[in-house]
């Protein structure tokens, strides 16, 4: 590898901040939960965690994945919001929280989504699962397929509702991954999580996520509760362009899950800040390519690069690119050729693949002969 140092402030054309002493963020608050996690979803920086990889019962947090699968089906055109779903006896009889659909009646997908997301209706969840996959069991297989695709390594679903089952589990980390995917892939449909109430069959029910009333920056996501799982909540909030997601699982009461979630969110926003350092289209450097039609290739990133750091420490950031030595054609656009390393006061805080921004085909016989000699002399 050879290294190229990048001056972050120069590239971003930002005025340097006044020099400040290094002030690390204080320790996160104590959270009374079986497991919890606080993360910035742009940088993937974990700000607080306990048992984040431990398998726990998700209760109705399951419906985040159920909704994600529906959103995928809607985006692909396989399902429409206007589709009418015939309510089965199984859906109608599903115990737990309900939106009060009636057997053998037809209900639109849009209403069922609202009933599932806003009212946490188990009956709506089963009706939607049967509409998409024919049975709840088949739909659970689809949920597990998406879980594997998204990298949920410690998650397994056996139903669409979150009703207890020894083989139905997830982790705080895994539930964050599907929440992130929902927010990124389906920003318009995600807005359903911020709706505070929904009326169906003349029955008005409020969103069980009471953080929507306590904090205007909160726009989701989902509560859950069973006797075994305790009180759970995934919350997402955005302040000044910074989005945090918190997960608390296994708290003792409705009040506790709200208080603990808000405590985590306030901690993250109070003591940290997130910056986009480079966009996907930015050319960070150029480097020599051997044996190619072109002698150089532009290098950049396959996705935007964000960092989350303690507040007022931005002027202490430095970055460098570590590029593979003696790059040889052919190179394909998007091919990894090194990495960008970002440091705060000499400590590495993130790494991201550095990729070729264009194709470089092999050069002709003469170019390859010349470069073979030059490479030996280098």
CATH number of the domain enclosing 230: 3.40.710.10
Question: Do 237 and 357 reside in the same domain of the chain?
Answer: no
List the domain range (segments joined by +) for residue 332: 2-17+277-377
Distance from the first to the final alpha carbon of the chain: 14
How many domains is the chain partitioned into structurally?
2
Element holding 285 (H helix, E strand)? strand 285-288
260 domain-assigned: no
Question: Do 234 and 326 reside in the same domain of the chain?
Answer: no
266 domain-assigned: no
Question: Do 49 and 179 reside in the same domain of the chain?
Answer: yes
Question: Do 356 and 291 reside in the same domain of the chain?
Answer: yes
pLDDT of residue 371: 55
Whole-number Å distance between alpha carbons of 164 and 362? 58
Question: Do 287 and 190 reside in the same domain of the chain?
Answer: no
Question: Do 225 and 343 reside in the same domain of the chain?
Answer: no
Residues of the chain with pLDDT under 70: 1-23, 368-371, 375
Question: Do 231 and 324 reside in the same domain of the chain?
Answer: no
Question: Do 177 and 66 reside in the same domain of the chain?
Answer: yes
Work out the burial of residue 5: count CB atoms within 10 Å of its CB; fewer than 13 is exposed, 13-18 middle, 19 or more buried. exposed
Q: Do 357 and 297 contact (CB within 8 A), yes or no?
A: yes
All residues at 6 or more sequence positions from 21 whose CB lies less than 8 Å from its CB, including other chains: none
Question: Do 194 and 97 reside in the same domain of the chain?
Answer: yes
Does the pTM surpass 0.85? The reply is: yes
Question: Do 104 and 228 reside in the same domain of the chain?
Answer: yes
258 domain-assigned: no
pLDDT of residue 271: 98
pLDDT of residue 312: 94
Whole-number Å distance between alpha carbons of 188 and 90? 31
pLDDT of residue 264: 98
pLDDT of residue 13: 34
pLDDT of residue 377: 77
Closest CA to 333 of 373, 378, 294, 276: 294
pLDDT of residue 7: 43
Largest CA distance in the chain: 82
Q: What is the 3-state secondary structure (H, E, C) of 134-195?
A: CCHHHHHHHHHHHHHHHCCCCCECCCCCCCCCCCCEECHHHHHHHHHHHHHHCHHHHHHHHC
Residues assigned a catalytic role: 60, 63, 120
237 domain-assigned: yes
pLDDT of residue 18: 38
220 domain-assigned: yes
106 domain-assigned: yes
CA atoms within 13 A on the CB side of 336: 9
pLDDT of residue 281: 79
Helices (H) and strands (E) in the chain, counts: 11, 17
Work out the burial of residue 309: count CB atoms within 10 Å of its CB; fewer than 13 is exposed, 13-18 middle, 19 or more buried. buried
pLDDT of residue 329: 83
pLDDT of residue 292: 82
All residues at 6 or more sequence positions from 202 whose CB lies less than 8 Å from its CB, including other chains: none
Question: Do 118 and 203 reside in the same domain of the chain?
Answer: yes
Whole-number Å distance between alpha carbons of 46 and 52? 10
Question: Do 292 and 235 reside in the same domain of the chain?
Answer: no
Residue 369 is part of a domain; what is its CATH number?
2.60.410.10
């Amino acid at each position: 590898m050879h290294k190229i140092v990048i001056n972050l402030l120069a590239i971003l054309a930002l005025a340097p901040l006044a020099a400040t002493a290094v002030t690390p963020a204080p320790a996160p608050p104590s959270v009374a939960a079986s497991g919890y996690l606080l993360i910035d979803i742009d940088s993937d920086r974990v700000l607080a965690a306990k048992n984040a990889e431990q398998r726990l019962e998700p209760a109705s947090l399951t419906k985040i994945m159920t909704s994600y699968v529906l959103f995928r089906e809607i985006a692909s055109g396989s399902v429409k919001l206007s589709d009418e779903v015939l309510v089965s006896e199984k859906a109608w009889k599903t115990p737990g929280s309900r939106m009060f659909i009636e057997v053998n009646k037809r209900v639109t997908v849009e209403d069922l989504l609202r009933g599932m997301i806003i009212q946490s209706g188990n009956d709506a969840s089963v009706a939607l699962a049967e509409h998409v996959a024919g049975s709840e069991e088949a739909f659970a297989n689809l949920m597990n397929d998406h879980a594997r695709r998204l990298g949920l390594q410690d998650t397994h679903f056996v139903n669409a509702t979150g009703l207890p089952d020894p083989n139905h589990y997830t982790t705080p980390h895994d539930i964050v991954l599907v929440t992130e995917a929902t927010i990124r892939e389906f920003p318009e449909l995600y807005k359903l999580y911020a709706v505070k109430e929904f009326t169906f069959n003349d029955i008005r029910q409020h969103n069980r996520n009471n953080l929507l009333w306590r904090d205007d920056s909160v726009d989701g996501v989902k509560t859950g509760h069973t006797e075994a799982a305790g009180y759970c909540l995934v919350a997402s909030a955005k302040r000044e362009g910074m989005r945090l997601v918190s997960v608390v699982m296994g708290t003792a009461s409705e009040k506790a899950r709200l208080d603990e979630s808000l405590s985590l969110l306030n901690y993250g926003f109070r003591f940290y800040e997130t910056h986009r350092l480079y966009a996907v289209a930015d050319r960070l450097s150029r480097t020599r390519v051997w044996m190619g039609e072109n002698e150089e290739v532009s290098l950049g990133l396959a996705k935007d690069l964000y960092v989350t750091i303690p507040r007022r420490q931005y002027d202490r950031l430095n970055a460098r690119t570590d590029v593979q030595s003696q790059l040889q054609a052919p190179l394909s656009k998007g091919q990894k050729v090194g990495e960008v390393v970002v440091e705060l006061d000499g400590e590495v805080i993130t790494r991201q693949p550095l990729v070729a921004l264009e194709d470089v085909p092999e050069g002709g016989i003469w170019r390859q002969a010349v470069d073979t000699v030059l490479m030996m002399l280098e």
